[in-house]
């Protein structure tokens, strides 16, 4: 199976062992693509939904991948410890609102759904255990907003009930759905939306990156042996 790793930020990609020395083999529409060997491709798609969707569409159409693994750090809406690995069970988009037209909050038009499931999250967690890593399953909310403590974060928590909040995953899930490509996501908790120390946590996410970086590549190689 052809698996691609999609990151939002260069620092997430560079958390992979040896990734800091790699040069992209191609840049398409400003998105750098890297050869990780053994049929694995990686890209740094950029922050936010449009950037993420554009990069994943290239992975689907140009490189013909069978599954995209979105890996990165994310803010936590509950009390998981920093650095906790979370296998996304499903995604929602917290900033999509056509309720004025009678739709449910978060419903994405065209595909007409509010929840985007991932590929075999329980199986993904089992593969991580084979690598000696424990991960929890969680719901993730995506939107074009860096979530910080306040009324808006509280509304997202109380409306969509996510464990994590980030800016790319559900856009990638939507692209994968429309292309018939598998989608999985592995996130590492970097900060906590409702802690007073959130910003200090966010700018000191070394533990979150370390926990993510050491497992992503072995995890992707195990995914290559699966069937979507």
Q: What is the CATH classification number for the domain harbouring 24?
A: 3.40.50.1580
The sign of the CA dihedral 41, 45, 48, 50 is negative
CA-CA-CA-CA dihedral for 139, 142, 146, 150, to nearest 10: -60
Length of the chain: 228
CB 85 within 8 Å of CB 128: yes
Q: Is residue 226 part of a domain?
A: no
- The verdict on residue 140 lying in a domain is yes
- The answer to whether residue 53 sits within a structural domain is yes
Which structural domain range is residue 78 located in? Answer: 3-219
Is residue 224 included in any domain, yes or no? no
Query: What is the rounded distance in angstroms from the CA atom of residue 156 to the CA atom of residue 161?
Result: 7
- Identify the sign of the CA torsion 95, 101, 102, 107: negative
Residue 55: inside a domain? yes
Residue 191 designated active-site: yes
Tens-binned pLDDT, residue by residue, of the chain (228 aa):
999 999 999 999 999 999 999 999 999 999 999 999 988 999 999 999 999 999 999 999 999 999 999 999 999 999 999 999 999 999 999 999 999 999 999 999 999 999 999 999 999 999 999 999 999 999 999 999 999 999 999 999 999 999 999 999 999 999 999 999 999 999 999 999 999 999 898 888 899 999 999 999 999 999 999 988
Catalytic residue among 66, 90, 163, 191: 191
Per the domain annotation, does 225 fall within a domain? no
Residue 176 lies in a domain: yes
Q: Which tokens belong to 201?
A: 């946590």
Helix (H, G, I), strand (E, B) or coil at 204: coil
Q: How many domains does the chain have?
A: 1
| Catalytic site residue from 12, 57, 90, 168 | 12
Asked about 21 being catalytic, the answer comes back as no
CA 149 to chain centre: 21
């Amino acid at each position: 199976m052809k698996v691609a790793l999609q990151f939002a930020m260069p620092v997430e990609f560079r958390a992979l062992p040896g990734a800091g020395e790699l040069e992209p083999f191609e840049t398409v529409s400003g998105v750098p693509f890297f050869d990780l060997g053994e049929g694995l491709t990686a890209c740094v798609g950029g922050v936010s939904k449009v950037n993420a969707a554009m990069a994943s569409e290239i992975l689907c159409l140009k490189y013909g991948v069978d599954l995209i693994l979105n890996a990165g750090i994310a803010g936590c809406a509950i009390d998981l410890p920093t650095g906790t690995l979370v296998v996304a069970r499903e995604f929602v988009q917290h900033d999509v609102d056509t309720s004025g037209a009678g739709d449910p909050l978060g419903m994405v038009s065209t595909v007409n759904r509010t929840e985007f499931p991932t590929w075999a999250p329980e199986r993904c967690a089992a593969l991580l255990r084979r690598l000696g890593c424990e991960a929890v399953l969680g719901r993730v909310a995506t939107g074009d907003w860096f979530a910080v403590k306040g009324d808006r974060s509280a509304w997202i928590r109380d409306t969509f009930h996510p464990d994590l909040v980030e800016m790319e995953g559900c856009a990638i899930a939507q692209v994968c759905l429309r292309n018939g490509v598998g989608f999985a996501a592995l996130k590492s908790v970097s900060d906590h939306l409702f802690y007073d120390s959130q910003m200090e946590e966010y700018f000191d996410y070394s533990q979150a990156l370390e926990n993510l970086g050491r497992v992503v590549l072995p995890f992707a190689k195990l995914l290559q042996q699966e069937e979507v």
